[in-house]
Amino acid sequence: MAITLLIVDDDARFRRFARQLLEGEGFAVVGEAADGVGALSEVEALRPEVVLLDIQLPDVSGLEVARRITSGGGERAAVVLTSARDGATFGSLMSESGARGFVGKTALCGAALRRLVG
């Protein structure tokens, strides 16, 4: 059973690559968003199981979006943060955001995502 996935990144090229890669590895990409506002509304509308979320978004920090998605009770999507930058540079900010973890863009693959979301 494919895991439903929302891809959030302002770079359309990256969204296309991620979709092609992950759809071949057991994920069903149900939507895409290019900014924080779009991400929150698509999470609300599509209820994906996993959100692949770029930290560098044009309107608001991805960390803040992650916090909003994961706070509160009920069925909440698992957020995996991604970035072209090294995850270590964000340090403790990552754990405070509520995300399950971080996968660098160049290391992106289905196995890495599954490891984090369980």
Partner 1 sequence: MDSHSAAVPPPVRVEHAVAHTLATTSGSDRVYGAVLATIGRWLGWELGAAWEIALPGRGYLRCVEFWCAPGTDASGFEELSRRTVLGRGAGLPGRVWASGDPCWIPDVTVDPNFARAAGAAAAGLHAAYCFPICGSGGVLGAVEFFTTRTLEPDEELLATMAAVGSQIGQFVERRQAEEALADAAELKHAVLDAALDCIVVMDQHGRVLEFNPAAERTFGYRAEEAIGAPMVELIIPPSLRRRHLAGLERYLRGGKPVILERRLELTAMRRDGSEFPVELTIVRIDLPGPARFTGYLRDITDRKHAEEELRASRARIVEAADAERRRLERDLHDGAQARLVSLALALRLGRAMLEDDPAGAGVQLDEAISELQEATVELRELAHGIHPAVLTEGGLAPALVTLLARASGVARLVGVPSERFPAPVEAAVYFVVAEALTNVSRYADATGVEVEVRWCDGRVELEVRDDGKGGADPTRGSGLRGMADRVAALWGTFEVASPVGGGTTLRAAIPCAAAVTAASPRG
Q: Which of 11, 35, 49, 64 binds partner 1 (CB under 8 A)?
A: 11
Q: Which of 108, 112, 116, 117 binds partner 1 (CB under 8 A)?
A: 108
Q: Which of 2, 28, 45, 84 binds partner 1 (CB under 8 A)?
A: 84
**CA-derived radius of gyration, the chain:** 13
Run of H or E residues at 80: strand 78-83
Least distance CB 26 / partner 1 (angstroms): 13
What string of H, E and C letters represents the secondary structure of 4-43? EEEEECCCHHHHHHHHHHHHCCCEEEEEEECCHHHHHHHH
Q: Which residues bind partner 1 (CB under 8 A)?
A: 11, 13-14, 17-18, 20-21, 24, 56, 84-85, 105-106, 108-109
